[in-house]
């Protein structure tokens, strides 16, 4: 870590940390950050840019703080259950009181690449497997631009292996996540035998 301090501010030139490996992973993700904080009225305004090399979606909940964009976190950890996120980069702004005993995140933006992801998009419909694409994040929304994937086959009402419905490309946008369950706008280009698509 490299940082400098003064009475009215803090500058973080660089922070690099290797997080512990979880669940049999060979190595944990590496997080880097830079940014700073300055006095604003009776409190502080902090801005930080965070990068992440790679993390398994199955481990995301253990690394993502619960109070940072909690509804976005809840959706991702509950609905993207396998695969890996890579090349993550986020910009976060937060307000802190003079006592530094609480944090209010006022702005969040970022993006990451996904590969091999399993995405539950409309339960109880089986998930889409092997999704690759790009995800963009804000405090109240998640947007996914998918490049490939394959709809799992339904067997007795449950997901049971790769189906014949191929996702060629698609966009999925979840909004309103800051206030409740939110809304979804899903547009997919599919290739499939007609009988399987109807089923």
Q: Kindly report, residue by residue over 121-148, the tens digit of the pLDDT.
A: 788 888 889 999 999 988 888 898 999 8
Query: What pLDDT score was predicted for residue 157?
Result: 41
* Residue 23: band (very low, low, confident or very high) from pLDDT cuts 50, 70, 90: confident
Q: Residue 167 above 90 pLDDT?
A: no
Query: What pLDDT score was predicted for residue 2?
Result: 96
Q: What is the pLDDT of residues 61-112, one digit of tens each?
A: 999 888 777 877 888 899 899 999 999 999 999 999 988 788 888 899 999 9
Nearest alpha-carbon partner for 139 in 185, 61, 72: 72
What is the rounded distance in angstroms from the CA atom of residue 23 to the CA atom of residue 165? 31
- What's the mean per-residue pLDDT of the chain? 87
Query: What pLDDT score was predicted for residue 144?
Result: 87
Query: What pLDDT score was predicted for residue 192?
Result: 87
Query: What pLDDT score was predicted for residue 161?
Result: 58
Strands ordered across the beta sheet of 158-175? 2-6, 9-18, 30-40, 43-56, 80-97, 104-119, 128-138, 142-155, 158-175, 183-191
Q: Residue 113 above 90 pLDDT?
A: yes
60 in Cβ contact with 72 (< 8 Å)? no
Query: What pLDDT score was predicted for residue 180?
Result: 67
- Read off the pLDDT of each residue in 160-187 and give the average, rounded to a whole number: 79
Q: Residue 173 above 50 pLDDT?
A: yes
Handedness of CA 136, 142, 143, 148 (dihedral sign): positive
121 in Cβ contact with 79 (< 8 Å)? yes
Q: Is 145 left (phi over 0), alpha (psi -120 to 50) or beta?
A: beta
- Read off the pLDDT of each residue in 176-195 and give the average, rounded to a whole number: 80
């Amino acid at each position: 870590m490299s940082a400098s301090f003064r009475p009215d501010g803090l500058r973080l030139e660089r922070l690099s940390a290797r997080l512990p490996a979880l669940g049999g992973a060979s190595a944990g993700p590496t997080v880097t950050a830079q940014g700073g904080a300055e006095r604003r009225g009776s409190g502080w305004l902090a801005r930080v840019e965070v990068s992440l090399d790679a993390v398994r979606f199955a481990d995301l909940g253990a690394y993502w703080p619960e109070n940072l964009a909690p509804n976005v976190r809840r959706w991702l950890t509950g609905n993207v259950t396998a695969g890996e996120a890579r090349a993550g980069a986020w910009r976060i702004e937060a307000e802190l009181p003079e006592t530094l005993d609480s944090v209010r995140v006022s702005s969040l933006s970022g993006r990451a690449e996904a590969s091999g992801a399993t995405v539950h998009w409309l339960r109880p419909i089986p998930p889409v497997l092997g999704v690759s694409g790009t995800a963009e994040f804000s405090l109240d929304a998640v947007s996914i631009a998918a490049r490939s994937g394959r709809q799992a086959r339904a067997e007795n009402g449950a997901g049971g292996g790769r189906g014949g419905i191929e996702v060629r490309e698609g966009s999925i946008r979840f909004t309103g996540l800051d206030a409740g369950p939110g809304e979804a706008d899903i547009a997919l280009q599919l290739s499939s035998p007609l009988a399987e698509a109807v089923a």
